[in-house]
Amino acid sequence: MSSKHLGKQTVRLSSPPAVLAGAAVVGKKEGEGPLGACFDYISDDSYFGEKTWEKAESNMLKRCFGIACDKAGMPPSSLQYIFGGDLLNQCTASSFAMRDSQVPYFGVYGACSTMAESLSLAAMAVDGGFCDGAAALSCSHFCSAERQFRFPLEYGGQRAPTAQWTVTGAGTVILAKSGQGPYITHVTTGKIIDAGVTDANNMGAAMAPAAYDTIKTHFEDTGLSPEDYDLIITGDLGYVGREALLELFSRDGVKLGTNAMDCGLLIFDRETQDVHAGGSGCGCSASVLCGMLIDSMRERRWKRMLFAATGALMSTTSAQQGESIPGICHAVALNLEVPC
Amino acid sequence: MSSKHLGKQTVRLSSPPAVLAGAAVVGKKEGEGPLGACFDYISDDSYFGEKTWEKAESNMLKRCFGIACDKAGMPPSSLQYIFGGDLLNQCTASSFAMRDSQVPYFGVYGACSTMAESLSLAAMAVDGGFCDGAAALSCSHFCSAERQFRFPLEYGGQRAPTAQWTVTGAGTVILAKSGQGPYITHVTTGKIIDAGVTDANNMGAAMAPAAYDTIKTHFEDTGLSPEDYDLIITGDLGYVGREALLELFSRDGVKLGTNAMDCGLLIFDRETQDVHAGGSGCGCSASVLCGMLIDSMRERRWKRMLFAATGALMSTTSAQQGESIPGICHAVALNLEVPC
């Protein structure tokens, strides 16, 4: 087994890469939510000045990438890689957003876990000595996702209570070999977990078993326990998925306590914003990580965080063909200080 | 600049990972082509025993992965990562194929360049000390691609002379820290290049500028020249794209000679198989690499090879919205011997 590998699915980074900057750009509804003050840019225009929602999504991510580069003091030309992906068919939101960047580009797809996947790979690229600077990014847009996965918006379809609301948001992290923290210390890469859930209006239930598997494996691989983290933040399990996750751990006698939160529950106010089970989409964990979590770590609210974004690896075609919904969860551990 | 980085877009791997095995599974038409004898399994049934073409595509890739693991003498449990992707919306062909593998999974998307992207990342994961064994894989299926990107098959639409034929094929490479070669020595990661081509029936033209950019940059970064390779093999430029690539190099006074070939021209016989400009799809370069190229290197037909798969980063939605077609090309250098 290679020296960086711990247990089954985790690597401990030998030279933890520094998170130089994070930036988040979101839509109006997200700006009106509890985290509104944390985002770098809020657009009142759901089209972001473009003619279609797909172009809007690309524009949002492009803007987000630009802000992140500015905040990090690293122009795109100083980055050796971009890792990016999104929910649109053929991942066009991110590739069109990055087509003028002139930076070598790795497209990734992990559904709503994409931000954790791109961050994992960017951290490994820096730690492996393949680059000095890399960007990890992802996004989603409520309107482009809704018409691709569900119904035309004009149809005004009823939403199930277990359904989640796709976040209009983008997040970008700029990583470098050295610099201001937090630092990425561990990467736990998820296996695909299919618990047999077939209800496409209940993604939380489909993803919770994957979150359980990855987080549990992270603890086993590293010898750490939930108390070692100030925050264990899942991607977008929402209310239903989070309850399922807590239940799965409680069966093992493990109590995930008040340090366990979910991006899908933080970004909206479920009482007033009519989002049913909470937020979802690649842009949910991406914008919460880059808009709030990184800054809160710097403000020393949390010193150690496990960022565990979850994804549902299905398509409308797989759902129509009666397939169950495989889930995946990738976890990235961040520490405000470089551990000894 | 990190020590492994050469020039703008290339890394030289410090401990070149070994290609333990490659395996290719294809459909009937591919089996009847010039490379028929090279493939590990040819299915006469376009459904691969399944009820839909999407499930067929997953079945094909799953079978291919199993054969590759067997040939490498490495069960899935000995792999630390799988890097995989495909053309279907939300990359479901590969994620459904791998959902029972129990191996940590990174989904990637590079359109028809996906095999080179997954191979690049797998090689970097091994070289970076993150794992001892990893799989890189990709696939496409003519029928699932045709109905997703073009027309229902029953419609019998006319095909433009510049159009290519999506290969029904899957390829898997098993990489390890040490073992029998060939070895992966360099990875040149492509930038997104958009030359403004809008004709979705002429992908070769859209991808050729990306192939030119990446291959040219590879030579600049490494100080190598075309003569240093016994084979420079592009992904699926087809007849039109290959001509454009040769023209672009000839303007620089560089003659890509008889050592420059294209997977899309090797896999079918254009005289007798009615494929117009040649083969395409993620499965094209994947099955040619894993079915023929790796074995031919072992037979010492070629000692040094540059594998440069190309992709068109568009979707039906981006085409309908009048967007041009961004291309990308990732290049991986293989050497039969570990260089000193």
Q: Tens of pLDDT along A282-324?
A: 999 999 999 999 999 999 999 999 999 999 999 999 999 999 9
| ipTM for the whole complex | 0.97
B positions 128-147 inside 8 Å of A (CB): 128-132
Each residue of A59-79: pLDDT tens digit?
999 999 999 999 999 999 999
**Confidence class for position A258, pLDDT limits 50, 70, 90:** confident
- In Å, how far is B316's CA from the nearest CA of chain A? 8
pLDDT at residue A309, rounded to an integer: 98
CB A59 within 8 A of CB A84: no
- Return d(Cα B309, Cα B306) in angstroms, integer: 10
pLDDT at residue B152, rounded to an integer: 85
pLDDT at residue A2, rounded to an integer: 56
Largest CA distance in chain B: 57
pLDDT at residue B192, rounded to an integer: 98
Task: Single out the residue of A242, A312, A325, A245 nearest to residue A281, CA to CA.
Answer: A312
- Residue A95 DSSP symbol: H
Q: A131, B14: Cβ pair inside 8 Å?
A: no
pLDDT at residue B340, rounded to an integer: 59
Q: Is B111 on the interface with A (CB under 8 A)?
A: yes
User: Looking at the predicted structure, is the pLDDT value of residue A139 above 90?
Assistant: yes
pLDDT at residue B280, rounded to an integer: 95
- Return d(Cα B137, Cα B119) in angstroms, integer: 8
pLDDT at residue B2, rounded to an integer: 56
Q: Is B15 on the interface with A (CB under 8 A)?
A: no
- In Å, how far is A170's CA from the nearest CA of chain B? 18
Q: Is B315 on the interface with A (CB under 8 A)?
A: yes
pLDDT at residue B155, rounded to an integer: 85
User: Looking at the predicted structure, is the pLDDT value of residue A166 above 80?
Assistant: yes
Mutant choice from A90, A189, A215 vs B, greatest count of B C-beta within 10 A:
A90
- In Å, how far is A152's CA from the nearest CA of chain B? 14
List of chain A residues whose C-beta atoms are within 8 Å of the C-beta of residue B2: 80, 129-132, 177
Contacts of A186 (CB under 8 A, 6+ apart): A6, A10, A11, A12, A13, A218, A222, A331, A332, A333
Q: B3, A110: Cβ pair inside 8 Å?
A: no
Angle CA B262–B267–B272, to nearest 5: 115
A positions 144-203 inside 8 Å of B (CB): 148, 177, 189-192, 194
pTM for the complete prediction? 0.98
Nearest CA in chain B to A118: B106
User: Looking at the predicted structure, is the pLDDT value of residue A1 above 70?
Assistant: no
Task: List the single residue in B90, B108, B130 with the smallest CB-CB distance to A313.
Answer: B90
pLDDT at residue B71, rounded to an integer: 98
Portion of chain A with pLDDT greater than 90, in percent: 91
3-state secondary structure string across chain B = CCCCEECCCEEECCCCCEEEEEEEEEEHHHHCCCCHHHCCEEECCCCCCCCCHHHHHHHHHHHHHHHHHHHHCCCHHHCCEEEEEECCHHHHHHHHHCCCCCCCEEEECCHHHHHHHHHHHHHHHHHCCCCCEEEEEEEECHHHHHHHHCCCHHHCCCCCCCCCEECCEEEEEEEECCCCCCEEEEEECCCCECCCCCCCCCHHHHHHHHHHHHHHHHHHHHCCCHHHCCEEEECCCHHHHHHHHHHHHHHCCCCCCCCEEEHHHHCCCCCCCCCCCCEECHHHHHHHHHHHHHHHHHCCCCCEEEEEEEEECCCHHHHHCCCCCCEEEEEEEEECCCCC
Q: B315, A88: Cβ pair inside 8 Å?
A: yes
- In Å, how far is A10's CA from the nearest CA of chain B? 9
Q: A191, B318: Cβ pair inside 8 Å?
A: no
Which portions of chain B are predicted below pLDDT 50?
1
